[in-house]
């Protein structure tokens, strides 16, 4: 990610590959915003996820055995292809 920019994490039970901004949206139908924060000076983004809130719209995505897909959308103001971009998609399988 572009260092020191605002980023938003999206999560979905499905995948996609759709041109968006200066990159590709990899999270598919059912996507929800999980949270947002700042990309650090090294271009890394991390965010704690509280799985204890069962009333969250994404709580059903986090059950044992499910594949969950994540992606960060971040500001990319110097990119000539668009003012925002996406990280690579990340897929995880939740285990007990």
pLDDT in tens, the chain (96 residues): 999 999 999 999 999 999 998 999 999 999 999 999 999 999 999 988 877 777 777 888 888 899 999 999 999 998 888 899 999 999 999 888
Q: Tokens standing for 24?
A: 């590709």
Supply the pLDDT for residue 2.
92
Backbone angles phi, psi at 57, to 5 degrees: -60, -20
Residue 90 pairs in a beta bridge with 70
pTM to 2 decimal places: 0.87
Q: What gap in Å lies between CA 75 and CA 10, rounded to an integer?
A: 14
Question: H or E element: which one contains 72?
Answer: strand 67-75
Q: Tokens standing for 84?
A: 């925002």
Supply the pLDDT for residue 56.
78
């Amino acid at each position: 990610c572009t260092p020191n920019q605002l980023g938003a994490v999206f999560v979905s039970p499905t995948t996609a590959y759709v041109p968006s901004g200066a990159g590709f949206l990899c999270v598919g139908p059912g996507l929800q915003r999980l949270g947002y924060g700042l990309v650090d000076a090294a271009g890394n983004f991390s965010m704690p996820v509280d799985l204890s809130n069962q009333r969250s719209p994404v709580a059903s995505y986090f059950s044992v055995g499910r594949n969950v897909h994540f992606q960060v959308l971040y500001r990319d103001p110097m990119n000539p292809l668009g003012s925002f971009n996406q990280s690579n998609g990340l897929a995880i399988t939740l285990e007990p």
